[in-house]
Structure 1
Amino acid sequence: MDAVNKCSHLAHAGNDMELKPYIHNFFGKGEQEVADLEKKGCLDSIKSFKQHTSLLEGDDLEVSNCGSRLRCAREGSKATTMYDVNGLLGATCAHGFALPDLFCNMRRSENFTFYLVLLKHIVKECPSVKHVYIDFGCRLAKTWTWYLQALDKELPPSAVDLRIMVNWMHAASHDMSCQLENSGRFQKDAGFVVGEQSEQLWAMTKDPSSLMRCMTLQNRHDSVECLLSDINDLKLARLVLVLKAKMDSMHKKLAELDQRLDGIQAESNAAGIHDLHAAAQEFLGTQFAVSPTLSERPFLEAEYVRLREMDIAVQKLQSIGFSWKEAGGMSPAALLLRGSTHKEQRELQAKLTDLEIKLAISPDSVWTVDSNDYTRGFKLLAEQQILRYQSAIDVIVHELNKVVTRALIKSTTLQKLAVGSIIVIQ
Structure 2
Amino acid sequence: MSSLNYDVVVIGGGPSGLMAAIASAEQGANTLLIEKGKKLGKKLEISGGGRCNVTSRLPKDEIIKHIPGNGRFLYSAFSVFDNEDIIDFFEDLGVKLKEEDHGRMFPVSDSAKDVVKALINQLDNLNVTVKMQTKVEAIDFRQDHHTVILDNDEKIQVKNIVVAVGGKAVPYTGSTGDGYSWAKKAGHTITTLFPTEVPLKSNQAFIKNKALQGLSLRDVALTVKDSNDKSLVTHTMDMIFTHFGISGPAVLRCSQYVVKQWLTSNEPVKLLIDALPNTNEETLFQTFNQLMEQNPKKSIKNNLKGWVPERYFLFLLKETNIDPDINSANISREKIRALVEHLKRFEVYVHDSLPIEKAFVTGGGVSIKEVIPTTLASKLMEGLFFCGEILDIHGYTGGYNITSALVTGRLAGQNAAWNSF
Q: Which has the higher strand share?
A: 2
- Rg larger in structure: 1
Please state which band the TM-score falls in when normalised by the shorter chain: under 0.3
TM-score by length of 1: 0.21
